[in-house]
Amino acid sequence: MKILLAIDHSAESQTAIDEVAARPWPAGTSVEVISVVDTKAPWLTSEVIEEITRRTSDLVQRAAAQLISRGLNATAQVFMGDPKEAILGRAEDLRPDFLIAGQHGAGEAAIFLLGSVAKAVARLAPCSVELVRNKTSGGMKLLLATDGSDCSLAAARSVAHRPWPEGTEIRILSVVEYHLPFLQVTLEPSFINPSGMEKLREEAMQRAQNAIRTAEEIVSAAGLKTSESLSVLLESPQQVILDEAKRWGADMIVTGSHGHRGINRLLLGSISEAVAMHAECSVELIRPA
């Protein structure tokens, strides 16, 4: 497995480094640690940039050394310019399996991988993305959100094909979501066919149950402990996922995502991005290889 770890001088980045160092990975996993010296500010003199570059080089070298001490093959690089462009550009060139970065909890002030940079990474990275918000110890609680799509199946396979700390538990969540035909949305309730509505509900329930069953088969085959959760859509899909993660105490949410290439279905596009931006725990956005 190939990992691109983007860091800065924040405590959140150190959490991401510690998490990568502590977690089990497939044999032969390599990590490239990068950081970006943002040169856009007009007040930066050449002397200041030189000092920041020196400190940043020390930062990535220390991070790589920490990962090497845990048996990982790690290298370090410093880039100059716009952080968003540099990170995405390196991801395009390296084509890692994961782009991993640290991130503040939801709602806090933006630095480095927050705000527009975080959204760009979540939306535009050509690979799967993990935004680390918390350090775990021992077994993890993973909330795998699925809608049965190809991207959701890719997320289940990604979880199944990786080693996890002993005692890790995966809860599989699917949201019962049904769409009304346009005419039913615009007509008065008295004109809506009750039997037609009931059929839509039954079909939506069946899709959600099938999505859970398929994901569970994939994950259970890897010997991982699973449980399941089925939710009727009373709020937006992203809010259902966020609420379930908080209620269960999840360490990480794992969802499928097309990123900028996809359409806006349950776990694609803006919904997976909203989960990534507002979750209180770490989030993985899995894109098919």
Count of domains in the chain?
Answer: 2
Report pLDDT digits (tens) over 81-132.
999 999 999 999 999 999 999 876 544 333 445 456 777 888 889 999 999 9
pLDDT of residue 182: 42
Looking at the structure, tell me whether residues 39 and 129 fall in a common domain.
Answer: yes
Looking at the structure, tell me whether residues 102 and 174 fall in a common domain.
Answer: no
Cα(17)–Cα(90) distance, integer angstroms: 18
- Positive or negative CA dihedral for 37, 41, 45, 48? negative
- Domain at 119, CATH number: 3.40.50.620
Looking at the structure, tell me whether residues 152 and 234 fall in a common domain.
Answer: yes
Residue 39 DSSP SS3: coil
Report pLDDT digits (tens) over 275-285.
988 899 999 99
Looking at the structure, tell me whether residues 164 and 232 fall in a common domain.
Answer: yes
Looking at the structure, tell me whether residues 110 and 209 fall in a common domain.
Answer: no
Chain mean pLDDT for the chain:
84
Cα(86)–Cα(29) distance, integer angstroms: 23
In the chain, the percentage of residues whose pLDDT exceeds 90 is 56
Q: Which of 133, 149, 169 is the last residue of a domain?
A: 133
- Residue 135 phi/psi, 5-degree rounding, is -90, 135
| Helix residue ranges per DSSP H, the chain | 11-22, 46-69, 83-94, 115-124, 150-160, 182-186, 194-220, 237-248, 270-278
Would you call 240 exposed, middle or buried from its count of C-beta atoms within 10 A (0-12, 13-18, 19+)? buried
Residue 271 scores a pLDDT above 90 = no
Q: Which of 133, 168, 198 is the last residue of a domain?
A: 133
Enumerate residues 6+ apart whose C-beta is below 8 A from 35. 6, 7, 8, 56, 59, 60, 78, 79
Question: Where in the sequence is the domain holding 285, given as residue range(s)?
Answer: 136-289
Residue 284 DSSP SS3: strand
pLDDT of residue 65: 98
Enumerate residues 6+ apart whose C-beta is below 8 A from 143. 170, 171, 173, 241, 244, 245, 248, 250, 252, 253, 254
Cα(129)–Cα(286) distance, integer angstroms: 7
Looking at the structure, tell me whether residues 102 and 169 fall in a common domain.
Answer: no
Looking at the structure, tell me whether residues 127 and 145 fall in a common domain.
Answer: no
DSSP 128-187: EEEEE-----SS-EEEEE--SSHHHHHHHHHHHTS---TT-EEEEEEEE-----HHHHHS
pLDDT of residue 6: 95
Enumerate residues 6+ apart whose C-beta is below 8 A from 260. 123, 124
Q: Are 198 and 264 in contact (CB under 8 A)?
A: no
Looking at the structure, tell me whether residues 90 and 215 fall in a common domain.
Answer: no
Looking at the structure, tell me whether residues 229 and 277 fall in a common domain.
Answer: yes
For helices 194-220 and 150-160, what crossing angle results, to 10°? Answer: 30
Enumerate residues 6+ apart whose C-beta is below 8 A from 53. 37, 78, 80
Q: Which of 94, 118, 133 is the last residue of a domain?
A: 133
Both tokens assigned to 96: 């890692």
Angstrom distances, CA of residue 239 to CA of 86, 90, 133, 138, 278:
32, 32, 18, 28, 9
Looking at the structure, tell me whether residues 146 and 289 fall in a common domain.
Answer: yes
Residue 74 scores a pLDDT above 50 = yes
Gyration radius (Cα) of the chain, Å: 21
Looking at the structure, tell me whether residues 38 and 152 fall in a common domain.
Answer: no
Both tokens assigned to 214: 């398929």
CA angle 107, 255, 22 (to 5 degrees): 75
Looking at the structure, tell me whether residues 10 and 128 fall in a common domain.
Answer: yes
Q: Are 21 and 52 in contact (CB under 8 A)?
A: no
Q: Please state the pTM of the whole predicted model.
A: 0.86
